[in-house]
Amino acid sequence: MQVILDDLDKKILNILQRDARIAYADIAKKIDTAEATVRFRVKRLISNGVIAAFIAVLNPVKIGYSVSGAMLLKLDPLHMDSVTERLVSYSEISYIYRSTGEYDVVSVIYAHDMNHFNGLVKEIKMLEGVKDVRVSVTTEFIKSNPTFVL
């Protein structure tokens, strides 16, 4: 269910997306409102599920994940939930999307090296309910932006 955001909510969210560590007092100064208002709004945005988490976005290469790729899976409909639950359990899989079209699931994998990557792909191909897997290893990092312009 979509949450209706007013201009003040959007200003707060845009600031937090750039720096989630910013103090509420500093946000209040930037948008010319009371700190208590910012605190209340953020609490409400969290409780409504608009803010899912406050996280640090890491560079995968800098922490030892030098290989990444996209994996598209065709699944047996009877095993859709069990396979996606297993995919969720892999720490190396950062994104999982159920999709329409030829493939049922699209995911993004990060691995330490090609041996690690190939081992993950082999393991996932062997899961009960996985009918087909298409894998593409990324060759260049161009953009990763977990923020939205509001």
pLDDT by position in tens, the chain (length 150):
899 999 999 999 999 999 999 999 999 999 999 999 999 999 999 999 999 999 988 889 999 999 999 999 999 999 999 999 999 999 999 999 999 999 999 999 999 999 999 999 999 999 999 999 999 999 988 888 888 888
Q: Do domains 7-47 and 61-137 have the same CATH topology?
A: no
Fill in the DSSP letter of residue 108.
E
With the CA atoms of 100, 105, 106 and 108 taken in that order, what torsion angle do they form, in degrees rounded to the nearest 10?
160
Q: What is the CATH number of domain 7-47?
A: 1.10.10.10
Helix (H) or strand (E) holding 96: strand 93-98
Share of the chain residues as helix, strand and coil, in percent rounded to the nearest 5: 40, 20, 40
List the chain domain ranges. 7-47, 61-137
CATH of 61-137, one of 3.30.1360.30, 3.30.499.10, 3.20.20.370, 3.30.70.920: 3.30.70.920
> pLDDT at position 98, please?
97
